[in-house]
Structure 1
C-alpha cells in the first residue's frame, strides 16, 4: 500500500474510534437516565406506601403457625377439620402501632370464611394471638364485608352502607348494657353510602378484592374495590383509640381459608 493509502486508512480508523468513543458513553448515560426515570416514577406512584409483608417470609409478623403460613407469595390463614378454633386467632404485625395511616391490601376468602383486618388494637395477654379493637370486617358470603366491627369491645359500629357518628359518653359504662343484636347503640346513622345489597355487588365472590383503610384522627373509612363501604366518626372519648396493633384474623367456625397479598402501609 502506498503512503497516501496508509494515511487515509489511519484517518478512517481515527474517525471511527472517535465515533465509538462518544457514542457508547452517550448510550450508557441515556440508559442510566431511563432507569432513574423509571425508578422515580415507581416511587412517585407508590406515594409513600411501604410493603409490610414480603411475600416470602413471616418476618415482622407473629401468629400461630398452626393457622398461618406463606404460600405462593400470599399470607395464608387456614382452619382445617383437625384445627378447629375455640377463639379467634390473629397474625399480628410487629413493625409498629400506627396512629394515622392508610392501609391497602388484597384478599381472597373461601365461601364460608370469616376474617377481618384489625387496627389501632390492643393485644390481649390472657388469650393467645388475640386483638381487641377496630376491625374492617371480611367474610366469604359478604354479609359483613366492609362494615366496621369492634372486636371484643363495642361490636358493630357501622354496617355496610352507613355513615355513622359514635356519640360521646360521660363516664365508663358496662359495654354489654349498650349492645343490642351485636351492635353498639350509642351511635347515630347520619347518612347513607348506598343500599347494602347494591354495595354487596361491588365485592367479588371467591376472587381477589382490594381493601383500602383511611384512618385519621377519629374518622375511620373502609373502602372495598375503591367503593366506600362504611364511614365512622368516633367521638366516644372513653372507648376510642388512636394507635395500636395491626393484624388479620381467622375466625371461629367451620374450616376456612383466607389469603392476603400486597399489604402496604402509609403513615399520615
Structure 2
C-alpha cells in the first residue's frame, strides 16, 4: 500500500514537472515569436504623402521602347547612341494613372549634349509610338532651357527660366492653323510676364552641369511651378481656356539630336 502511495506521488510529480517544462517551452516560443514579429515591423517613415513611382530596378509600370530606356543602378536611364539615333522625340510613360493636381520630386543627371524633360498632364499621340503632347519641365545638358515650361507639340514656350507668365487664348481659336500661327520664335504669343523670378543666367548658375540636380514640380489647378534645387525657376498661370489641360499622362523624354544620356532617380509623386 505504501509503495502504491509512493508511485502515485512519483507519477503526480512527474506530470507536474512535465507540465512546467511544456509551459516554459511554450512561453519561450511565444516570446521568441513576439521578438521575430517585432523585427519584421518596418521602420516608421514620416508620412509626407509622396509615393515612389519607380522601383530603381525594373521598368514595371512604365511603358517605352526597350532600345532607348532601361533601369540601371537605381536610375531610369534614357540613352541614344550612334547606332540608335532617333528621328522623333520618344518617351517612357508612367502607367499608374493620369495625375491632375500633384507634386513630383525627382533627381536628374544629363550629359552635355543631352536634351530631355518631364511631361505631365499630357496626351498620347496615336500617330507616333510613345509620344506625348503637353506641358514639359524642360531639361538640357547645357542648361539653356532647364527649368522653363515648354509645351511639347503644342504652344511651345510658355515661360522661360526666371519668368512668371500668365497665358491666354489666341484670337479666333476655331480658325484652321490658328494654333501654329500664334507661335513665333518658338514661344506662345499670348503670354504676359507679370513677375521676374530672377535673372536667367543667375538661376542657371544654381543648376549643376553633368551632375545630379533635384527637380520639384507643383501642379495645382492652372498654376504650374517648376523648381530646380529648391529654387523656383518658372511659373505659369494658364488662363488659356481653349488649350490648357487639367490632367493627363506623365513621362520623361529623350530628344532628337546627337548621342546623349539622361538619368532619373528617386521619382516620387504626391497627389493633391
When normalised by structure 2's length, the TM-score is 0.84
2:7 aligned partner: none
Displacement after TM superposition at 1:170 (Å)? 5.9
1:109-120 equivalence runs, <5 A: 109-120=110-121
CA contact (8 A) 2:166 2:194 kept: yes
Which secondary structure state, in structure 1, belongs to the residue aligned with residue 49 of structure 2? coil
Q: Is structure 2 residue 269 aligned with structure 1 residue 260?
A: no
Q: 1:219, 1:98 → 2: CA distance?
A: 14
Corresponding residue to 1:235 among 233, 239, 256: 239
Q: Is structure 2 residue 135 aligned with structure 1 residue 134?
A: yes
CA contact (8 A) 1:75 1:260 kept: yes
Displacement after TM superposition at 1:168 (Å)? 3.3
Corresponding residue to 1:224 among 222, 228, 231: 228
1:107 aligned partner: 108
Displacement after TM superposition at 1:175 (Å)? 1.3
2:194 aligned partner: 190
Q: Is structure 2 residue 46 aligned with structure 1 residue 43?
A: yes
Q: Is structure 2 residue 80 aligned with structure 1 residue 79?
A: yes
Gap runs ≥5 in structure 1: 1-20
Q: 1:32, 1:161 → 2: CA distance?
A: 51
Across the two proteins, how many residue pairs are aligned to each other? Answer: 245
Q: Is structure 2 residue 183 aligned with structure 1 residue 179?
A: yes
CA deviations over 1:224-244 (Å, ceiling 9, x no partner): 000000000000000000000
1:58 aligned partner: 59
Q: 1:161, 1:263 → 2: CA distance?
A: 25
Which secondary structure state, in structure 1, belongs to the residue aligned with residue 247 of structure 2? coil
- Highest Rg: 1 or 2? 2
When normalised by structure 1's length, the TM-score is 0.85
Q: 1:97, 1:201 → 2: CA distance?
A: 33
CA contact (8 A) 1:148 1:159 kept: yes
The alpha-carbon distance between structure 1 residues 136 and 103, as it changes in their structure 2 partners (threshold 3 A), is same
Gap runs ≥5 in structure 2: 1-26
Runs of 4+ in 1 over 4 A off after TM superposition: none
Displacement after TM superposition at 1:199 (Å)? 0.1
Which secondary structure state, in structure 1, belongs to the residue aligned with residue 203 of structure 2? helix
CA contact (8 A) 2:170 2:179 kept: no
Q: 2:61, 2:78 → 1: CA distance?
A: 16
1:139-178 equivalence runs, <5 A: 139-169=140-170, 171-172=172-173, 173=175, 174-178=178-182
Which secondary structure state, in structure 2, belongs to the residue aligned with residue 43 of structure 1? coil
